[in-house]
Structure formats: structure tokens, C-alpha cells
Homo-oligomer: A and B are copies of this chain.
Amino acid sequence: MSVMTGGKLKLVQAALRLITESRSLTSLGLRELAREAGLNPNTFYRHFRNLDEFGLQVLGYIAEEMKTGVRELRRMAESSDQASRETVAFVYHYFLNNAAATTVAVRELHGPSPVLRRALENQLDASAREMAEDIIERRLVPGVDDATVHEISHMTIRYILFRAMDYIEKPDQRDRIQLETEHFINRQFRGALVESLPPETIARWASKN
């Protein structure tokens, strides 16, 4: 399962290549894949039962890629305590360097195949849980209860993933995207601290500081 070689790898990589050139995983054809990979169409059957199974394997492949990225991220976040700014920069650079995987994830998360959608949702939920637990364990946002941290993590993971797509496609907006992401995160966590208070009270207090 773990390491792919030969034709199998070639086919998966061909899929990633085609998808970045504005295609969708679900719309790829067997022959098209083989053509792009430089293989005979029938070679496909030596590695996959059908296109559905292929899709899942591609998802597994990119999930593996993403996991190593997350691991790096956590290792880096451990060393710095002012997480936000550099962390956001790091994350977007990571997505940029894994544009193909990112594109697949974003496309299929809202794509037509229910199976792939569920698989991706589970993957994202798992990442969100990890992120939340890290935040809670390291007491990064004291004053916010655990359930809320989980909720915010869930939103943030998705927000970043979608913005990563823009980040990849619109180089001229990268600074803005990074900045808005920081705003997003800051507002969510700061907002959570004063969630139960009426806006007027907050505004009055804030204007005095």
C-alpha cells in the first residue's frame, strides 16, 4: 500500500498533472490517463479495478503527502510561540509547493462523487481535530472552551484550504490572502472570548483602549 512504483505511480502522477491543468478527478478517462502516463490503456487494469478505485487511491496518495506536511507544521509550530503570522505563511507555501494535491482536494471536496467527498471530509475533520488538540494542549488561547476551539479549527481548516486555491492561482493577491487569513483567525479567537457580550458593550470598552 505504502510506496508506489512503476506504472501505478506514473498513472497517479499523470492524474495530478491533468487535474492541475483544469480537470477534475472524477472526469478523467482511463485512456486519457494512460496516454498522459505514456502507457498502454490496458496497463491501467494491472493496478486498478476501475476508475472509482483509482480515484480513491489518488486520494490516499495525496492524503499521505498532506500528512507529512501537517507533521512538519506541528514541528515548526512547537518552536515558535507567536504562531499565527509565520504559521500562516508556512502553510500557504506548503500548499503552493503541493499545488496538484491541493487542487484535487478542493475540487473533489465539492465535486460530484459522494464517495470522494466523504473521504475528504473525514480527512479534513481529522486534521481539524489534531489542530484543535494542539491548541488546547499548548494553552494557546486561554479563556476559550474546548468545544469552541474545535469549532473554530474546523472552520479555519476549510477556510485556509479554499484560500490556498486562490493563493495558487492568483500570485498577485498572495499578500492579501495571507493577511486576510490572519485577520480571520484573530477575529475568530478574539471574538470567541467576548462571544456572549453585546456588541455595544465591547465597542465601548474597545474604544477606551
Contact digits for A168-209, partner B, Cβ 8 Å, 1 yes 0 no: 000000000000100110111111111101011111011101
Copies in the complex: 2
Residue A8 CB within 8 A of the other chain: no
- Shortest A101–chain B CB gap in Å is 15
Q: Which stretch in A19-27, A42-50, A65-73 binds the other chain?
A: A19-27
Assembled-state Cα–Cα distance A197/B193 (Å): 12
Q: Which stretch in A30-38, A54-62, A87-95, A103-111 binds the other chain?
A: A103-111
On whether the beta carbons of A192 and B187 are closer than 8 Å, the reply is: yes
Q: Which residues of B contact A201 (CB under 8 A)?
A: 209
- Shortest A182–chain B CB gap in Å is 10
> Could you list which residues of chain A lie within 8 angstroms of chain B, going by C-beta atoms?
19, 22-24, 26-27, 106-107, 109-114, 141-143, 148, 151-152, 155, 158-159, 162, 165, 180, 183-184, 186-195, 197, 199-203, 205-207, 209
| 25 A-B residue pairs with CB within 8 Å | A22-B112, A24-B24, A24-B111, A107-B110, A110-B110, A141-B199, A142-B200, A142-B203, A143-B199, A143-B207, A162-B162, A183-B195, A186-B195, A188-B191, A189-B191, A190-B190, A190-B191, A190-B194, A190-B197, A191-B191, A193-B199, A193-B206, A194-B202, A197-B206, A205-B205
